[in-house]
A and B are shown apart, each in its own frame.
Chain A
Amino acid sequence: DAGITQSPRHKVTETGTPVTLRCHQTENHRYMYWYRQDPGHGLRLIHYSYGVKDTDKGEVSDGYSVSRSKTEDFLLTLESATSSQTSVYFCATGATEANYGYTFGSGTRLTVV
């Protein structure tokens, strides 16, 4: 996980509140990704970024937004948290489009009550 820091590591929030998760990298990688991991589903892509201010939707983007104002930071916002968004969220970075594998952060465990 060297070079990628996710914060917070754990969070409990109430239904209907906005939540922002942060991913910070020191690798100077162009590509950044947000995935969620749930039992029975594996890792699923939420949003990704291919440069500063350049973002796009992934497979499960509904209810999520992202922003990338600097190369090193990629923020994931749950606009109005729901219980279905209880999950472990992973940030990943890549120098190219995954050809050499992503580097993943340690994850944020989010519980929505």
Chain B
Amino acid sequence: EDQVTQSPEALRLQEGESSSLNCSYTVSGLRGLFWYRQDPGKGPEFLFTLYSAGEEKEKERLKATLTKKESFLHITAPKPEDSATYLCAVQGGGADGLTFGKGTHLIIQP
């Protein structure tokens, strides 16, 4: 059974204070690891897909990295508009659909 654990559950940062969110996973035959952003009352918004250990992807102030056991979402010099819940998900070799973690609720204070 595929499993995804995200930490911390919640994180409060000051504007400009860089940090990282963690996603630990166990999966049989990783086909992809996904990061989404979710704003209150809305559906998740796709950010990145990572396929293999060592891969990195960037988008504005966000950078996602992947190892064989975990992924990190690094947030550099965040702004209040980066406040959201960040979801991590995996697709395993035998899975249909994605297995999601519970998310990290990020608050950036001005």
Q: Which of B43, B91, B96, B97 contacts A104 (CB 8 A)?
A: B43
Given A48-B97, A98-B34, A105-B43, A42 contacting B49 (CB threshold 8 A): no
Given A97-B91, A99-B32, A104-B45, A41 contacting B97 (CB threshold 8 A): no
B106 to chain A, nearest CB (A): 16
| CA of A90 to CA of B100, assembled, Å | 13
**What's the tally of chain B residues with a CB closer than 8 Å to chain A?**
24
- For B31, list chain A residues within 8 Å (CB): 97-99
- In chain B, positions 88-110 with a C-beta closer than 8 Å to chain A are 89, 91, 96-103
Cβ B43 vs Cβ A99 within 8 A: no
Given A45-B96, A45-B98, A106 contacting B49 (CB threshold 8 A): no
Tell yes or no: B73 within 8 A of A by CB: no
**What's the tally of chain A residues with a CB closer than 8 Å to chain B?**
26
Cβ B97 vs Cβ A98 within 8 A: yes
Given A42-B103, A43-B87, A99-B32, A106 contacting B97 (CB threshold 8 A): no
Given A40-B102, A99-B32, A99-B49, A33 contacting B42 (CB threshold 8 A): no
Tell yes or no: A101 within 8 A of B by CB: yes
Tell yes or no: A103 within 8 A of B by CB: yes
Given A33-B97, A42-B101, A102 contacting B42 (CB threshold 8 A): no
Closest 10 CB pairs of A and B: A104-B43, A101-B46, A45-B97, A43-B100, A42-B102, A42-B100, A104-B44, A98-B91, A106-B43, A48-B97
